[in-house]
Amino acid sequence: MAARAYWQGQIRLALVSIPVEIYPATRSGAAVSFRQIHEPSGKPIRYEKVVTGIGPVDRDEILKGYEVSKGNYVLLDDEEIEAVRIESRKTLDLVQFVDADAIDVLYYEKPYFVLPADDLAEEAYAVLRDALRQTKKVGLGQLSVRGREQLVSLKPCGRGLVLELLRYADEVTKAQSYFRGLPDEKADPDMLDLATTIIEKKTAPFKPEEFHDRYVDALRALIEKKKKAKGKRIIEDVEEPGTQRGGNVIDLMAALKKSVEGGKRTPAARKAAAAPKAKAKAPAKRAAPAKRKKA
C-alpha cells in the first residue's frame, strides 16, 4: 500500500513555485501496545464518559472546556473552535534562511520527506536543494495544515529535501532554568585528555540498525513464550546492572585511566607477563658446622 501524503502543495521561493508532496519520514512500529482485559471473561474493557454524581452521559452533551481557575471553565463548542481554525493553504513560503547549525536541537520535532509532485517540478526542486547545500543554509516557513499553522525548516538530504516540524519558542523550556545552578568550572586538563581519548577510541560511523530497544525485544519474546505456554504465567528474573550512587566514592581519574586501557594490562605489564619465568632456586643448604679441634 502506497504511503499517503501528509501535505500536497507548493514551496515558493520568491517568484518560483515548486509543486511537492510531503510524506512522513518516521513510523511508530517499534512500540508494543496493550489493551486492558477483563480476566474472568477475557473481553477488552471499554471506557464510558462519566460525570461524578451523575453517571454515564451522552456524547452530544459534551463540550470542550478550558480551565481558567480551579474548577472554573470557559466552554467552547465545536463550531466556535472550527471558526478560528487557520485556513489550510497549499503554499509554503520560504520567508527566511539561517545557518544549518543555527537551530537548537530542542526545536526539532518530526521529519518529513519532500518530493517533487511531477516531472516538471524536478528541475526547480534540484535547484533549490543544491542552493541550500551550497550556501549551507536551512529554509524557514509556516505550513498550514489540519487547522493549525506549524513552523517548519527545509534542508537538503541526499538526493532530496527533508522538511522538519519545529516547536515554537513557548513550547521549549530554556536550558538555563536547569543548568544555571551548575558550577562554572573548567574540567581538569588531565581528566579531559583521558575523556577525549575514550571518545576518539569509540568514534565510528552511525549505524542505527545496530541499536535496538531491548525492552521492546524482551516484551515480544515474552509474548511469544506466552503464546506457546497457552496463557500460563511466566516470570523471569532480570539482573539489574550494578550502579554506584550515594555513598560509593569513585576515583574519577582511576576510572578514566582504566577505561582508556580498556580493562587490559599496560604494555609493560603484558611484556612482563610474557617473559619466561626463572625457575625458583632451591634454598642453599647450610654448611655443617666445623668440628672444634681438641686442645
* SS (HEC) of the chain: CCCCCCEEEEEEECCEEEEEEEEECCCCCCCCCCCCEECCCCEECCCCCEECCCEECCHHHCCEEEEEECCEEEEECHHHHHHCCCCCCCEEECCEEEECCCCCHHHEEEEEEEEECCHHHHHHHHHHHHHHHHHCEEEEEEEEECCEEEEEEEEEECCEEEEEEECCHHHCCCCHHHHCCCCCCCCCHHHHHHHHHHHHHCCCCCCHHHCCCHHHHHHHHHHHHHHHHCCCCCCCCCCCCCCCCCCCCCCHHHHHHHHHHCCCCCHHHHHHHHCCCCCCCCCCCCCCCCCCCCC
Q: Quick one: what percent of the chain has pLDDT higher than 70?
A: 80
| pLDDT confidence tier of residue 254, bands split at 50, 70 and 90 | confident
pLDDT at 281: 47
**Rounded-to-integer distance, Cα 154 and Cα 145, Å:** 16
| pLDDT confidence tier of residue 147, bands split at 50, 70 and 90 | confident
The pLDDT tens digits of the residues spanning 178-212 come to: 888 888 888 888 888 988 898 888 888 888 888 77
Residue 89 has pLDDT above 80, yes or no: no
Among residues 27, 17, 22, the alpha carbon closest in space to that of 153 is found at: 22
pLDDT at 183: 86
| pLDDT confidence tier of residue 169, bands split at 50, 70 and 90 | very high
Residue 94 has pLDDT above 70, yes or no: yes
In total, the chain counts a number of residues equal to 295
Residue 256 has pLDDT above 60, yes or no: yes
pLDDT at 144: 86
CA 267 to chain centre: 39
pTM > 0.95: yes or no: no
**Rounded-to-integer distance, Cα 11 and Cα 116, Å:** 10
Most confident of 39-53, 71-85, 202-216, 267-281: 39-53
For the chain, list the domains and their CATH numbers: 7-26+89-171 (2.40.290.10)
Helices 252-261, 189-201: inter-axial angle, 10-degree rounding: 30
pLDDT at 77: 83
Residue 115 has pLDDT above 90, yes or no: yes
Grid cell at residue 49: 464518559
| pLDDT confidence tier of residue 231, bands split at 50, 70 and 90 | low
pLDDT at 239: 55
Residue 4 has pLDDT above 80, yes or no: yes
| pLDDT confidence tier of residue 216, bands split at 50, 70 and 90 | confident
Burial class (CB in 10 A: 0-12, 13-18, 19+), 166: buried
Residue 152 has pLDDT above 80, yes or no: yes
The pLDDT tens digits of the residues spanning 34-68 come to: 888 888 888 898 888 888 888 888 888 888 898 98
Grid cell at residue 273: 607477563
Of 4-18, 184-198, 247-261, 272-286, which gets the smallest average pLDDT? 272-286
